[in-house]
């Protein structure tokens, strides 16, 4: 990676993570010059507990992303939503199309809140990994992406779309839902998750090394 950086005249950093209680991995990373870059919290919620009804501002609707016609506006929304997040890198329209065309992609597990004027205002992607669940003898779902774009925050869209996702996961037979969140998230994501019943399980540390 150092050679690639020099060839392209760009700065390169390696990113590696480990749970805070994995002392051997942490010792290895630190012995190789990695420094702590960020802390992330793993949180989970039981889907057997009551799930409050989702509420949205008047005129907002929910839809699934299931075709390439939405790729450009979805990519634009994601970039506007996460532009102020740690280690953000813009998503390209091509990468979104690749995602939509992946045989494993499940459109029913991708939600977007649409404003009255048609703007994609918030999103929530969640996943089910049958192989992992079978191996671990669990019925887990994972919230892999949740965000509200600038200009639409503080209106309840985040909690509304998250609660809608929880109901969909429960309808799919899942019993627990998990997610990872930046411990220093500036948009108050941790408070949102705790307000709808998520609890902290463990901490993961992101280590960085410039090469």
Give the predicted TM-score (pTM) of the model: 0.87
Residue 77, in any domain of the structure: yes
3 state DSSP class of 18: strand
The two structure tokens encoding residue 210: 């410039």
Residue 29, in any domain of the structure: no
The two structure tokens encoding residue 147: 């965000």
Q: Which helix (H) or strand (E) holds 46?
A: strand 35-46
Residue 1, in any domain of the structure: no
pLDDT of residue 186: 62
Residue 12, in any domain of the structure: no
pLDDT of residue 183: 87
What would the mean pLDDT of 66-79 be, rounded to a whole number? 89
Structurally, the chain folds into a number of domains equal to 1
CATH number at residue 102: 3.40.630.30
CB 187 within 8 A of CB 150: no
Instruction: Choose between 85 and 98: higher pLDDT.
Output: 98
Longest dimension (CA), the chain: 55
Residue 100, in any domain of the structure: yes
Residue 7, in any domain of the structure: no
Tens of pLDDT, residue by residue over 135-186, are 999 999 999 999 999 999 999 999 999 999 999 999 999 999 999 999 887 6
Residue 28, in any domain of the structure: no
Write out the residue range of the structural domain in which residue 172 sits: 40-203
What would the mean pLDDT of 78-98 be, rounded to a whole number? 89
Residue 210, in any domain of the structure: no
Q: Any residues with CB less than 8 A from the CB of 12 and at least 6 apart, and which?
A: 1, 2, 4, 5, 210, 211
């Amino acid at each position: 990676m150092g050679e690639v950086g020099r060839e392209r005249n760009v700065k390169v950093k390696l990113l590696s993570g480990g749970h805070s209680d994995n002392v051997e991995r942490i010792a290895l990373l630190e012995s190789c010059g990695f420094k702590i870059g960020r802390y992330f919290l793993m949180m989970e919620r039981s889907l057997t507990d009551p799930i409050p009804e989702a509420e949205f501002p008047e005129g907002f609707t929910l839809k699934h992303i299931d075709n390439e016609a939405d790729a450009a506006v979805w990519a634009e929304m994601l970039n506007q939503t996460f532009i102020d997040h740690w280690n953000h890198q813009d998503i390209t329209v091509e990468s979104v199309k690749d995602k939509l065309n992946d045989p494993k992609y499940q459109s029913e597990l991708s939600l977007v809140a649409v404003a009255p004027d048609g703007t994609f205002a918030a999103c929530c992607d969640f996943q089910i990994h049958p192989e992992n669940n079978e191996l671990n003898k669990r019925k887990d779902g994972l919230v892999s992406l949740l965000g509200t774009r600038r200009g639409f925050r503080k209106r309840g869209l985040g909690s509304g779309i998250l609660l809608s996702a929880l109901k969909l996961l429960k309808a799919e037979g899942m019993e627990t839902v998990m997610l990872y969140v930046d411990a220093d998230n500036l948009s108050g994501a941790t408070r949102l998750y705790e307000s709808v019943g998520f609890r902290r399980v463990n901490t993961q540390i992101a280590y960085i090394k410039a090469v």
